[in-house]
Structure 1
Amino acid sequence: MNTAAPDPRLEHARRLLDADELTLDQLGAAVGLSPTHLQRRFKDAFGLSPAEYRAQKKLSRLKHELRGPGDVTRALYEAGYGSASRVYEDGAARLGMLPGAYRRGGEGLTIHWSPIDTRLGKALIAATERGLCAIALGDDEAALEAELRDEFPQAQIARVQAGRDDFLAPRVQAVADLLAGKRGQVPIELIGTAFQQRVWEALMKIPRGETRSYAELAAQVGQPRAARAVARACAQNRLAVIVPCHRIIRADGSLGGYRWGLPRKDALLRAESGKTARQRG
């Protein structure tokens, strides 16, 4: 895995993008690189093109502004969007809902969730009318529910018993089968940046029982020097097991990190490979 520090000119370019919306030509002139070279090297270093990085920063600012005082229009312009139509065209897909609903903490959104007991502990499975929005693992059902409610404080969040919701029931069963080590598929909608989606889609192509290193996955998505960006995308995955970020390990064979705890990651890998804990050790 390449751990060398990025070229100082690329770090300078990133700082400039943090401060202002520069075109690729303007950015290249400011750091002394041609637009073509800057585009390629920036993406190699950070996993995003300068335009994708700028869009991600704007989306982050928009989320912050939408959570604060004031109306939606003010939030749009404070975040740097030139018009409301721009964020409704591309921002809505990344937020997973219209900006007004996000600002209101999911107001108007209905989320049904079910808890299930698995060999990995508790699992929370949640869905809107559009599809699964969360699969979380933990030790405490109340803590998992609190995390969901914290993300969408104004949404109508209803706990339902597994099997008692016509939309959620088949998805709960499919996820339960996956958590039990069975094979299966569940329809999902990936909501994230273009780079995150490429990483998550690549994760889902890793065969059961196999693993990849962060560097190998970075190469698979066409960004061989973006192993750290790949690791961040794995950490931001909201759909445990279905998007199998547990199949990514370090180049030395150690487990690395896992959002839902290393013991669960180890258990998932052992179940998929058919190995015992002693054999893995």
Structure 2
Amino acid sequence: MIDEQSAWDAFEARDRSADERFVVAVTTTRIYCRPSCPARRPRREHVRFYADAAAAAERGYRSCLRCKPDEAARDKQAVAAALRLLEEAEGTVRLDALASAVGYAPHHFQRLFSREVGVSPAAWQRARRLGEADRRLGEGASVTAAIYEAGYSAPSRFYDDARSLGLAPARLRRGGNDMVINWARLDSPFGHLLIAATDKGLCRVSFDEDQSALQLRYPAAELVENANAPLIQAALAAIGDPALAAALPTDVSGTAFQQRVWAELRRIPPGETRSYLDIARAIGDPKATRAVGTANGANPIAIIVPCHRVVRNDGSLGGYAGGLERKKDLLAAETKLAQGSLPLLS
């Protein structure tokens, strides 16, 4: 769902970052543009906003010859094609081969892919392999078996990649053995919150859970109740002022697709919402709305990774692990805050 006032403000400011979120159609000229188009601005009553170029074209608008918004659509299609190639590949795909397959120069496609997906092609492939290895370790496979079944050509590559998870592979298989997790159960305007963090980042933020939820997820970890831990205090501050959330590190594992979705959730500004289709389009896979919904529901870091800002394609709220009333309250509070009200927590 597009917030029209925010979209108009971005259009007036020629905000390039908004080019990825919507296109601007002008009813008098029947042309649609990027928000950053350098052309003179039309009157507000002559402007309509659409999620993408295809939506504007369906309503009879033509592409602007000056800012060429269709190139943005072509870029998204190229990224979607590249993601399909990566999903189907049995081994690592080099950047030059990937870029050539979708018709782009390597350096340009590296920037394009990173902008659209949130990580580079190499990082995406590492995350995919790690996610598969993580899944197999969780099923009880040995570290060696998980390494090769996940597609690694050598154990050394897996150990290098595993550092980005903040976990040693054997420790992961043993349920977080040798991990120290600080946690606290705190009150908020939206109910009781469990906040937990390793030394790498937040690993759990959830409603109406307690220490037992962490024991299930990390049965061999050392759990330390410590409400004064810096990351726990930082998370609490970010719940009161959502603009602070983007800077907080997280320490969670997930499939490559889940990581793409969670990264995109963190780009939704406070006070705004996106549909499942919006998120699917943003990650370059517009047909993956159901998978987006599943990844959204699997988000382990509530509020900080704002899955509550995702709604159904028809604008209705959809589901929320914390309950629909709580989702309504969160969205209402963030809207008021975006309009200049006091922080959510005082």
Task: Provide TM-score, normalisation by structure 2.
Answer: 0.56
1:218-260 CA distances to partner (integer Å, 9 max, x unpaired)? 2223322222222222122221111111111112121112222
Q: 2:191 aligns with which of 108, 121, 130?
A: 121
Classify the secondary structure of the residue corresponding to 2:193: strand
Identity %: 41
Q: Write the mapping of 1:2-151 to structure 2, written as runs, cut at 5 A.
A: 21=90, 59=130, 62-67=133-138, 71-93=142-164, 95-138=165-208, 141=209, 144-151=210-217
Shift, 1:217, TM fit? 2.0
CA deviation string 1:180-218 (max 9, x = no partner):
x54441442344444433333332222222211111222
Judge conservation of contact 1:206–1:247 (CA < 8 Å) in 2.
yes
Instruction: Tell me the residue number matched to 1:167.
Output: 230
2:302 alignment partner, SS class: coil
Cα offset for 1:172?
4.7
1:72 partner amino acid: V
State how far apart, in whole Å, the 1-side matches of 2:212 and 2:283 are.
34
* Structure 2 unmatched runs, 5+: 1-50, 52-83, 94-100, 104-116, 338-346
CA–CA separation in structure 1 for the residues paired with 2:320 and 2:259: 18
Cα distance in structure 2, aligned partners of 1:221 and 1:125: 28
Residue matched to 1:185: 244
Q: Hey, what's the Cα distance between the residues in 2 that align with 1:172 and 1:189?
A: 10
Q: What are the within-5 Å matches in structure 2 for residues 192-271 of structure 1? A: 192-271=254-333
- 2:278 maps to amino acid: E
Note if contact 2:125-2:256 (Cα within 8 Å) is conserved in structure 1. no
User: What is the CA-CA distance between 1:265 and the residue it aligns to?
Assistant: 1.1
Is the Cα–Cα contact under 8 Å of residues 174 and 184 in structure 1 kept in the other structure?
A: no
Point out the structure with max Rg over C-alpha: 2
AA in 1 matched with 2:276 = Y
Helix, strand or coil at the partner of 1:185: helix
Residue deviations 1:149-205 (CA, integer Å, cap 9, x gap): 111111111112x2xx35345325414xx2xx5444144234444443333333222
User: Quick one: which amino acid aligns to residue 185 of structure 1?
Assistant: L
Distance 1:212 1:154, change over 3 A: same
Q: Distance in 2 between matches of 1:103 and 1:223?
A: 32
Q: Relative contact order, CA 8 A, sep 6+: which one is greater?
A: 1
Give the whole-Å Cα distance in 2 for the aligned partners of 1:52 and 1:128: 22
Using structure 1 for the length normalisation, give the TM-score: 0.67
For residues 119-169 of structure 1, the C-alpha deviation after alignment (integer angstroms, 9 at most, x for no partner) is 22210111111122211112xx4xx32221111111111112x2xx35345
* Residues in 1 aligned to 2:170 and 2:234: alpha-carbon distance in whole angstroms: 28
Equivalent-residue separation in structure 2 for 1:212 and 1:182 (angstroms)? 20
Question: 5+ residue gaps in structure 1?
Answer: 2-12, 25-34, 38-46, 276-281
Matched, 1:154 2:220: yes
Q: Tell me how many residue pairs correspond in the alignment.
A: 236
1:264 Cα deviation after fit: 1.5
Amino acid paired to 1:273: T
Separation in structure 1 between the aligned mates of residue 282 and residue 136 of structure 2, nearest angstrom:
35
Deviates more, 1:115-124 or 1:192-201: 192-201
Shift in alpha-carbon separation, 1:69–1:247, aligned structure 2, 3 A: closer
Change (3 A) 1:208 1:69: closer
The one-letter code of the counterpart of 1:214 is Y
Report which stretch shifted further, 112-121 or 78-87.
78-87
**Following TM superposition, by how much is the alpha carbon of 1:80 offset from its aligned partner in structure 2, in angstroms?**
4.5
| CA apart distance, 1:89 | 2.5
